[in-house]
Amino acid sequence: MTLTLTPLPGIPIVNPGDDLASLIISALERMKIDLEDGDILVLAQKIVSKSEDRFINLASVSPSRKALALGEQIDKDARLIELILQESKSILRIRPGTIIVEHRLGFICANAGIDHSNVNTKNDLDEWVLLLPENPDYSAKLIRSKLEEWCCQTIGILIIDSHGRAWRLGTVGVAIGISGLPGLEDLRGDPDLFGRTLRVTQVGAADELAAAASLVMGQAGEGTPVIHVRGFPYALREGSLEELIRPEQEDMFR
């Protein structure tokens, strides 16, 4: 098995309303890459959010009493906290400078995924933040539909973000939007190397690919927000982020 991840250079700074599929097609043509059945394109969350105009100017946000109280408690801008509250189902932990929440999309993350970094605007740079896409699975589906129409092949689209982890230091790439590939690959019932039946093994296939693609993208200012993938070891199928979300009743750490 060979898994090949190829960055697509030359993707310009994405602005609201930009057609990501068209930008990707141009990048593929420059690299002389013809999409094949089973190929996957991995997109950084930021370019999806930017194209969907998920920018918010903090000057336009009026913090609630709860946001004001939390802001004083953890020394964080109450306007940003208000956005975090709006993007979250619940608050799980608070520490100076950080809020851990259950995002409205279902996963656990810091600050509801709202970001200041790599958010470039014409004026008042520090006043602007970027929210996660409204519906990343749907965003991935739209991009996939346009690309499949162009290439006449069956492909997958994965939208990823950088998250921390409960048990380890450092951020890693994780899937937040999935179309056309499995989120979770269930190996229960399959034999292991010695013929014993696997009973609990489920592979977070989309997260594994997200982490690999994140290595190629980089976490700072590398400017390669789209990765072409060939050789994914699992069959493509319809998938969704929901497959990867652990139900609350099975979460031993809340």
Number of other residues whose CB lies within 10 A of the CB of residue 7: 20
Count: domains in the chain: 2
Q: Is the pTM of this model over 0.85?
A: yes
Residue 9, domain member (yes or no): yes
Residue 251 lies in a domain: no
pLDDT in tens for each of the 254 residues of the chain? 799 999 999 999 999 999 999 999 999 999 999 999 999 999 999 999 999 999 999 999 999 999 999 999 999 999 999 999 999 999 999 999 889 999 999 999 999 999 876 565 555 556 899 999 999 999 999 999 999 999 999 999 999 999 998 889 999 999 999 999 999 987 656 676 667 766 656 889 999 999 999 999 986 556 899 999 999 999 999 999 999 999 988 888 77
Residue that terminates a domain, selected from 66, 95, 130: 130
Domain extent, residue 35, equals 4-48+134-245
Residues 109 and 208 in one domain: no
Identify the burial level of 6 via C-beta atoms within 10 angstroms of its C-beta, where 0-12 means exposed, 13-18 middle and 19 or more buried.
middle
Instruction: Report the CATH number at residue 95.
Output: 3.90.1660.10
In a shared domain, residues 10 and 28: yes
